[in-house]
Amino acid sequence: MESKSNTSSQVIVFLLVILVNVAAGFCIGNEMVAFAALLLVVGLLCAVQLIFKFRQTNRSIAFFFDSIRNEDTTVNFPVNIEDQSLKALNNSMNQLNKHIQEIKLQNEYKEKYYRALIQQASIGLVVLNEQNEIELINEVICRYAGISPASTNMNLLKIKNQEFYDVLTRIEAGDSVTFRNILSGSVQLLLFRATAIKSGDNTVKLITVQDIRQELDEKELESYQKLISILTHEIMNSLAPMISVSKTLVNFYTTDDVPVKTDAVNDTMISTTVQGLKLIEEQGNGLVNFVNSYRRLTKIPAPVFQRFAVDDWLEQLTILFAERLKSDQIELEIVVEKTLTEIYADKNLINQVVVNLISNAIDALLQIEEHRKITIELSSNRDNRVIIKISNNGPSIPADIQEKIFIPFYTTKENGSGIGLSLSRQIMRSLKGSISLVSNEQEDTVFILEI
């Protein structure tokens, strides 16, 4: 209300100046010179006063904005003045200045909070601006890079560990990079991940760094333990019958560890011996085949990448399985994304994986009586990688088995070798791709290949 009354008073003064000047002009026209001169003086004084107020107000506003631009929030404008309009303006600017101070304090608090949070993080964090200058770095990164966390020199990393700094500057937002870092005789396998963050008109790059060597070692050890368990199980299964038969045959031809006489050997003993030796031969061959399967698993040929037509490849697969699908009454559906015409990969290796998955799907479908169906879907994702889905509507794979099916030599089939899916995973890794499984009771069992 006070501001409105002050504005009204200034308007009245302005109108009064105009009215006085009009009256002075009227007096001059009627030769009332003395009275006209008095009116002109009054009008001039009112105009001067009005101009002074405007200039004083403009100076205060200009000074206020200069202080804001210079981030000076200590400025305080006087309010104990007689000029009510200027008093109201100063009071408003003081309140706005106080509000800016509060916002500034909140921002400083948040900045200190986030900086402390970054410093206390268990993984390495570093922020680079668009000029690849380090704006923020935490203690973990400093330890990885071999620089002092107490240093305030943001260029120290570039000086002390150029290779580490180069990885930070080269990594693009959304990418992940591994870096083998040797520090004081200790080897670290560091995983770098980068994210772009918009900060005002600029974009900064937040990079996280963590040592994944221990995690990989644990995974590797776990894989070895599982592999050794399977190997031990398979070898013992093959050796136990051989040992048992050997003991039986030895007992046939010895008495108290003394060999029997030749005339004590009869046709039954000879026949049993022949059967026992055949069993030993079969078990030995099985063990040899098992070892050869292991050698196949560890000796995957280097992939030869080439482009091949999707339609031709799928037609070849259809011909390959046509007779078996027909005899087992299995429907095959193929769905291909229209824009996907070629695949860049090793065709022979991909064939090996897909043929194995289709064969497994056929075996699974034999467990149901009707409506057997296999679907092959091909598409591409946003990263221009090819996605191949091979699904069947057979029985779902239990969750506890899903965790084991890619382990070498693990199998649920009576005559299975247990290397098919493990070999498929090895092949997909050699192709810089992946294989995964989705299976539950509500949906089809789907193997997903990404190339």
Task: Identify whether residues 310 and 442 lie together within a single domain.
Answer: yes
Do residues 362 and 399 touch, judged by C-beta distance below 8 A? no
Percent of the chain with pLDDT over 90: 10
Task: Identify whether residues 96 and 166 lie together within a single domain.
Answer: no
In the chain, the amino acid numbered 164 is F
Task: Identify whether residues 264 and 323 lie together within a single domain.
Answer: no
Give a yes or no: residue 110 inside a domain.
Answer: no
Q: Residue range 345-368: average pLDDT?
A: 89
How high is the pLDDT of residue 13? 58
Q: Taking 60 as the threshold, does the pLDDT of residue 185 lie above it?
A: no
Q: What is the dihedral of CA 159, 160, 161, 162, to 10 degrees?
A: 20
Q: Residue range 327-339: average pLDDT?
A: 91
Task: Identify whether residues 71 and 140 lie together within a single domain.
Answer: no
How high is the pLDDT of residue 386? 92
Give per-residue pLDDT as tens, 373-403.
999 999 988 778 899 999 999 888 887 777 6
Give per-residue pLDDT as tens, 279-294.
778 777 777 776 666 6
How high is the pLDDT of residue 301? 76
Q: Residue range 404-433: average pLDDT?
A: 75
- pLDDT higher for 380 or 13? 380
* Count of structural domains within the chain: 4
How high is the pLDDT of residue 5? 45
376 vs 362: CA distance, rounded Å: 13
* Short-list 90, 94, 75, 76, CA closest to 3: 90
Task: Identify whether residues 240 and 285 lie together within a single domain.
Answer: yes
Residue 407 has a CB neighbour count (10 Å cut-off) of 17
* Short-list 208, 213, 216, 218, CA closest to 122: 208
How high is the pLDDT of residue 80? 75
Task: Output Rg (C-alpha) for the chain, integer angstroms.
Answer: 43
Q: Taking 60 as the threshold, does the pLDDT of residue 422 lie above it?
A: yes
Task: Identify whether residues 399 and 319 lie together within a single domain.
Answer: yes
Q: CA 69, 71, 75: angle at the middle one, nearest 5?
A: 100
Q: Taking 60 as the threshold, does the pLDDT of residue 127 lie above it?
A: yes
Q: What is the dihedral of CA 95, 98, 102, 104, to 10 degrees?
A: 120
Give a yes or no: residue 231 inside a domain.
Answer: yes
Task: Identify whether residues 17 and 93 lie together within a single domain.
Answer: yes
Give a yes or no: residue 116 inside a domain.
Answer: no
Q: Taking 70 as the threshold, does the pLDDT of residue 426 lie above it?
A: yes
Task: Identify whether residues 147 and 250 lie together within a single domain.
Answer: no
Give a yes or no: residue 82 inside a domain.
Answer: yes
347-365 and 310-327 helices cross at what angle (nearest 10)?
30
- pLDDT higher for 326 or 230? 326
Examine the fold and report which residue of 211, 245, 273 is the final residue of a domain before the chain moves on: 211
28 vs 20: CA distance, rounded Å: 12
Give a yes or no: residue 111 inside a domain.
Answer: no
Give a yes or no: residue 27 inside a domain.
Answer: yes
What is the residue-averaged pLDDT of the chain? Answer: 77
Q: How confident is the model at residue 343 (pLDDT cuts 50, 70, 90)?
A: very high
Residue 338 has a CB neighbour count (10 Å cut-off) of 6
Q: Taking 70 as the threshold, does the pLDDT of residue 187 lie above it?
A: no
Q: What is the dihedral of CA 142, 146, 149, 150, to 10 degrees?
A: -160
Residue with tokens 């990393």: 157
Give a yes or no: residue 44 inside a domain.
Answer: yes
How high is the pLDDT of residue 2? 42
Do residues 40 and 56 touch, judged by C-beta distance below 8 A? no
What CATH number should be reported for the domain holding residue 177?
3.30.450.20
Q: Taking 90 as the threshold, does the pLDDT of residue 333 lie above it?
A: yes
2-29 and 33-69 helices cross at what angle (nearest 10)?
150
Task: Identify whether residues 56 and 177 lie together within a single domain.
Answer: no
Give the 3-state secondary structure of residue 266: coil
- Could you tell me the residue range of the domain that residue 379 belongs to? 306-450
Q: Residue range 75-97: average pLDDT?
A: 73
Give per-residue pLDDT as tens, 36-81.
666 666 666 666 666 666 676 767 777 777 777 777 667 777 777 7
How high is the pLDDT of residue 425? 85
What CATH number should be reported for the domain holding residue 430?
3.30.565.10
Percent of the chain with pLDDT over 70: 69
**What tokens were used for 36?**
């006209």
Q: Taking 70 as the threshold, does the pLDDT of residue 420 lie above it?
A: yes
Q: Taking 80 as the threshold, does the pLDDT of residue 204 lie above it?
A: yes
Task: Identify whether residues 43 and 177 lie together within a single domain.
Answer: no
Task: Identify whether residues 397 and 415 lie together within a single domain.
Answer: yes
Task: Identify whether residues 439 and 321 lie together within a single domain.
Answer: yes
Query: 2: which residues sit within 8 A by CB, 6+ positions away?
Result: 84, 88
Do residues 156 and 178 touch, judged by C-beta distance below 8 A? no
Q: pTM of this prediction? A: 0.45
* Short-list 309, 336, 439, CA closest to 448: 439
* Short-list 58, 103, 56, CA closest to 83: 56
Give a yes or no: residue 246 inside a domain.
Answer: yes
**What tokens were used for 261?**
């006489």
- pLDDT higher for 49 or 354? 354
How high is the pLDDT of residue 375? 94
Examine the fold and report which residue of 42, 76, 105 is the final residue of a domain before the chain moves on: 105
Q: Taking 70 as the threshold, does the pLDDT of residue 244 lie above it?
A: yes
The DSSP call for residue 433 is: -
Examine the fold and report which residue of 297, 314, 336 is the final residue of a domain before the chain moves on: 297
